Amino acid sequence: MRTGITQAPFGHSRDGATITQFTLTNANGMVARIIDFGGIITALHAPDREGKMADVVLGFDTLSPYETDSPYFGALIGRYGNRIARGRFTLDGEAYSLPTNNGNNHLHGGAPGFDKLKWEASVEDDVLRLVYRSRDGEQGYPGNLVATVTYQLLDSNELVVRFHAVTDKATPVNLTQHSYFNLAGGGSILDHVLTIDADAFVAIDSESIPTGALAPVEGTPFDFRSPRPIGAGIQEADIQLANGQGYDHCFALNKPQGKAMTRAARVLEPRSGRVLELFTEEPGVQFYSGNFLDRSLAGKGQSYAHRSGFCLEPQHFPDSPNQPQFPSVILRPGEVYQTESRFRFSVSR
């Protein structure tokens, strides 16, 4: 079996740039396809308990909908994953204003964010390297930022995502990967069995902005410390579920101080036996239950219905530039932003 990385054209962007798709293959036949537009994972084929492969990420067959319609399917997110309240923050005594592209708030780096821009791509052995140079003032952020992301598909059936960034001026940075998963390859994700290693989550208001509190999961629909189907509590009368229109919350992971890699979450799809485990150095993981999918988007031979995909986005907490009690997201000149996450696939017999 051929392993490594191959490449092929994936169309042209609206501004005429040639977009390339890179195919990563490991010794077990797993395949990850990634384009240099938004660093998007367009396909990810993983085996079930019988060895049958299925594409376990939502996405499109062509480039155009990634440019126009995509709700961040498979994309790299930056400079700041998640929301910043009112698109405003103050840093070192200077006030900054960002575009508000999610109601009154700034979401996922603005429009366009890193998810809808071409990255510089290069290949070294089995590693795909993507670089984006974000200029000072882009989407309102201070500083010239150089962001580098690498993808590597290991023979242990792990997709490794490594983030690196440097800046020439203090700036918030919170990069993440935004794939929508469905371990059955289609249908509802409500019977997927989820575990999240978190005693608390970031409580939000009706605009999905943190209240500033970390709410205990104990006795709530947010308690995934033991394996539980995603759909088990999603219809409960709970103000936090109402605010997110389902699960759309950052969980504060149980982990020691520092950058230790820990298992954040595990998901089992019972029929296929596919298991996804997320390991990360980040302090939080945003769990999103596909609340806004409504069959208006289609790709890969299916339309994407309500709750037909879930996201596990390793990241710092939302609105951290305005929440001093949260772990800092400020990167300064001379410092290096560096973090790693691993998406490990296996099967349950």
Residue numbers annotated as active site: 178, 313
CA 44 – CA 63 distance, rounded (Å): 17
Placement of tokens 């300064």 in the chain: 332
The secondary structure element, H or E, covering residue 286 is strand 284-288
* C-beta neighbour count of 183 within 10 angstroms: 24
On the question of a cis peptide bond just before residue 210, with omega within 30 degrees of 0, the verdict is no
What sign has the CA pseudo-torsion 171, 333, 177, 325?
negative
- Beta-ladder partners of 228: 194
Q: Rounded to the nearest 5°, which phi and psi values hold at 152?
A: -145, 130
Is the Cβ–Cβ distance between 334 and 218 less than 8 Å?
Answer: no
CA 113 – CA 110 distance, rounded (Å): 5
Cβ-count burial 15-39 (b if 16+ within 10 Å, e if not): eeeebbbbbbbbebebbbbbbbbbb
**β-pair type (284-288, 127-134):** unpaired
Burial bucket for residue 246 (CB in 10 Å: 0-12, 13-18, 19+): buried
Outline where 15-147 has alpha helix (H): 64-68
Helix (H, G, I), strand (E, B) or coil at 222: coil
First vs last C-alpha separation in the chain = 25
**Encoded tokens for 214:** 């970390």
From 260, 279, 298, select the one nearest 59 (Cα to Cα).
298
